[in-house]
Amino acid sequence: MLQENEILRVENLSASIPFKNGPIICIDGVSFSLLAGQTLGIIGERESGKSSLLISILGQFERVMQFRLASAQKMRLMSCRIPPPTQIPTSDDWIGCASGKVLYNGEVITQEHLGGISFVPEDNQQNVAFEFVRRERDMGVTLRSDDYPSHLIELRDKAIALFGLEEFVSRARKGKLEAATLKANQFRKIRIIEALMADPKLLLIDQPTDMLEVTEIRQLIDLLTYAQEMINLSVIVTSNDVSFFTNFLDRIAILYAGRIVEVGSTEATIFEPLHPYTKNLMASNPAVIMMYKRRGMKIRLRGIHDRHIDSTTLPSGCVFNPQCEIATDLCRTSRPNFKEFGNDRWVSCHHC
Query: How confident is the prediction along the chain (352 residues), in pLDDT tens digits per residue?
Result: 556 789 999 999 999 887 767 778 889 999 999 999 999 999 998 889 999 999 999 988 887 777 666 655 555 444 444 445 445 444 544 556 888 999 999 888 877 767 789 999 886 554 544 455 555 578 888 999 989 999 999 999 999 999 999 999 999 998 888 887 888 888 889 999 999 999 999 999 999 888 788 899 999 999 999 999 888 899 999 999 899 899 999 999 999 999 999 999 999 999 999 999 999 999 999 999 999 999 999 888 887 765 566 666 788 899 999 889 899 999 999 999 999 988 889 999 999 8
Q: What is the pLDDT of residue 101?
A: 93
Q: What is the pLDDT of residue 80?
A: 44
Q: What is the pLDDT of residue 71?
A: 59
Q: How far apart are CA 34 and CA 209, in angstroms?
A: 22
Segment (H or E) for 204: strand 202-205
- Are 48 and 256 within 8 A, CB to CB? yes
Q: What is the pLDDT of residue 129?
A: 47
CA-based end-to-end distance of the chain: 25
**Torsion on CA atoms 31, 32, 33, 38, rounded to nearest 10:** -150
For the whole model, what pTM was predicted? 0.88
- When computed from its CA atoms, the radius of gyration of the chain, rounded to whole angstroms, is 21
Q: What is the pLDDT of residue 113?
A: 66
Q: What is the pLDDT of residue 179?
A: 80
238 burial type by CB count under 10 A (0-12 exposed, 13-18 middle, 19+ buried): buried
Amino acid letter for position 202: L
Q: What is the pLDDT of residue 78?
A: 41
In 3D space, the residue among 243, 291, 253 whose CA is nearest the CA of residue 43 turns out to be 253
Q: Tell how far CA 52 is from the center of its chain.
A: 8
**In sequence order, what are the residues at sequence separation of 6 or more whose Cβ sits closer than 8 angstroms to the Cβ of residue 282?**
242, 270, 273, 288
Q: What is the pLDDT of residue 90?
A: 47
* Domain range list for the chain: 6-249
In 3D space, the residue among 37, 30, 3 whose CA is nearest the CA of residue 106 turns out to be 3
The torsion angles phi and psi of 14, rounded to 5 degrees, stand at -135, 150
Q: Which CATH architecture has domain 6-249?
A: 3-Layer(aba) Sandwich (3.40)
